A and B are shown apart, each in its own frame.
Chain A
């Protein structure tokens, strides 16, 4: 998190706001609700109170406008700049302006007013943009769903450094952005995608390019808005140029950025029993054309040519891959080795000699 220069903040805890005008995209009541909910994001974690006034000058004046709208920071038409807000201070200080050339919505159809407003009010209260891609104060818009929104930990730390914590936080579980060099790092899934490696953890994935030392952290939703915010497993079939992502009983096939028509499908359509709840790990072995699926303490082999699970499966992981434990969080293969991730450990398993060659820390995938 970051602050504005001189760490600007309000010197009082009771602040007023006024909605000066409305967007035609939404009903007035919908705008009122989105704004109220956006303030609550911040009042839940601080001693700040927000009171709406309907006339006169409020601390935070909220308006919709287009192009040049009176502050010499013009908007730019559809998309691009969505909104801006001024840091705490007199006159325009704290005010939030929304570009009415955008399509505003209460869901994901347009730009979600609640999410954008919550971000802008962060500025109104003294937070600058954060470098944390998981933070609400990250400058790029990502739809994350507005039901059950939880303010990320980075934003909580920032705002509480300015105003302190409130008496009661109704949602104390603030999601933290994963750190790749965390000694206790565990992973959700790994896949290749056109030569890059994608390493999934919570609502994020790291992009690891073979020529780059540093991995880039990206929110799943910012890449694939239609996917769930977390995945259980993923693998690439390079022949088809498809990546498959699994979450619960559903799976998606992707061609680059695009979800292939007809997906999501149910995992039982691959031949798994209907009571199977999730896939833990998946890996495609190019040499054999088979894909291995790991579920609990068992694994299955899927023939990509016949598009059917092979007979004789499931088999116990411990029996066929001794030494890697009895569960798999994530798995990938490279140069004749399979790399199994189980908690904070990574097992390098030789496909040829059928034994574990090395035990590494999970975070060593990032050269930590």
Chain B
């Protein structure tokens, strides 16, 4: 996942599990597709665009990068229906 490189602390904060969690979140609620091997080999732009979509939906700062605020929101309890009908 694209993570913020502006602040090196951000990079340290997200573990592999955190990134997998964020990936699952985008798959569940933002229709993010992985390739048949199940690895996110598609360009990071796709993930970034889904992150941007999510950040825009929730009125967060739209960066396309995983930051603390976006990750916090992903962890909040919520409805399982995707935010994008498509």
Taking CB atoms, residues of chain A closer than 8 Å to B85 are 2-5, 128
Is B10 located at the chain interface by the 8 A CB criterion?
A: no
Interface size class of A (residues with CB under 8 A): 20 to 34
Interface string of B38-60 (1 = CB under 8 A from A): 00000000000000000001111
| Nearest residue, chain A, Cβ from B86 | A5
In the bound complex, CA of A99 to CA of B83 (Å)? 19
- Known: A5-B86, A131-B59, A216-B59. Contact between A123 and B81, CB under 8 A? yes
In the assembled complex, A239 has its CB within 8 A of some CB on chain B: no
A129 at the interface (CB under 8 A from B): yes
Which listed residue, B29, B76, B81, touches A85 by the CB 8 Å rule?
Answer: B81
A217 at the interface (CB under 8 A from B): yes
CB-CB under 8 A from B59, the residues of chain A are: 131, 133, 214, 216-217
CB atoms of A84 and B81 under 8 A apart: yes
Contact: A129 with B73, CB < 8 Å?
Answer: no
**Choice from A79, A84, A133 contacting B79 with Cβ under 8 Å:** A84
**Chain B contacts of A84 at CB under 8 A?**
79-81
Closest-CB distance, B21 to chain A (whole angstroms): 9
Q: A4 — which chain B residues lie within 8 A by C-beta?
A: 85
Q: Is A140 close to B, CB under 8 A? A: yes
Q: Which of A3, A5, A85, A141 contacts B77 (CB 8 A)?
A: A141
In the complex, chain A residues whose CB is within 8 Å of the CB of B82: 129
In the complex, which residues of chain B have a beta carbon less than 8 angstroms from the beta carbon of A214? 59, 61
Interface of A, secondary structure class, is: mixed
At the interface, yes or no: B16 with Cβ under 8 Å from chain A?
A: no
Kindly report which residue of chain A lies nearest to residue B29, judged by CB atoms. Answer: A139
Q: Is A73 an interface residue (CB 8 A)?
A: yes
Knowing A84-B80, A131-B59, A216-B60 are in contact, say whether A140-B73 is a contact too (CB < 8 A): yes
Chain B's closest residue to A85 (CB) is B81
Residue-wise, chain A 196-215 has the 8 Å CB interface mask toward B (1 for contact) of 00000000000000001010
Task: List, in ascending order, chain B residues with CB within 8 A of A217's CB.
Answer: 59
Take A131-B59, A133-B59, A216-B60 as given contacts and tell me if A140 and B76 are in contact as well, using a CB distance cutoff of 8 Å. yes
Please measure, in the bound complex, the distance between the C-alpha atom of A83 and the C-alpha atom of B79, giving whole angstroms.
5
Q: How far is the CA of A75 from the CA of B28 in the complex (A)?
A: 11
Complex CA–CA separation, A199 to B42 (angstroms): 41
Contacts of B86 on A, CB cut-off 8 Å?
5
- For residue A83, which residues in chain B have a CB less than 8 angstroms away from its CB? 79-80
Task: Tell me if A80 is interfacial: C-beta within 8 Å of chain B.
Answer: yes
With an 8 A cutoff between CB atoms, is A234 at the interface?
no
Q: Are B78 and A141 in contact (CB under 8 A)?
A: yes
A99 to B77, CA, bound (A): 12
Q: Does A272 contact B (CB under 8 A)?
A: no
A113-139 near B? 1/0 per residue, CB < 8 Å: 000100110010000110101000001
> How many angstroms between the C-alpha atoms of A139 and B59 in the bound complex?
13
Given contacts A2-B85, A128-B85, A129-B83, contact A82 B77 (CB under 8 A): yes
B50 → chain A closest CB, angstroms: 15
24 A-B residue pairings within 8 Å (CB atoms)? A5-B86, A79-B77, A81-B28, A82-B78, A82-B80, A83-B80, A84-B80, A84-B81, A120-B79, A123-B79, A128-B81, A129-B57, A129-B79, A129-B83, A131-B57, A131-B59, A133-B58, A133-B59, A139-B78, A139-B83, A140-B73, A140-B77, A141-B76, A141-B79
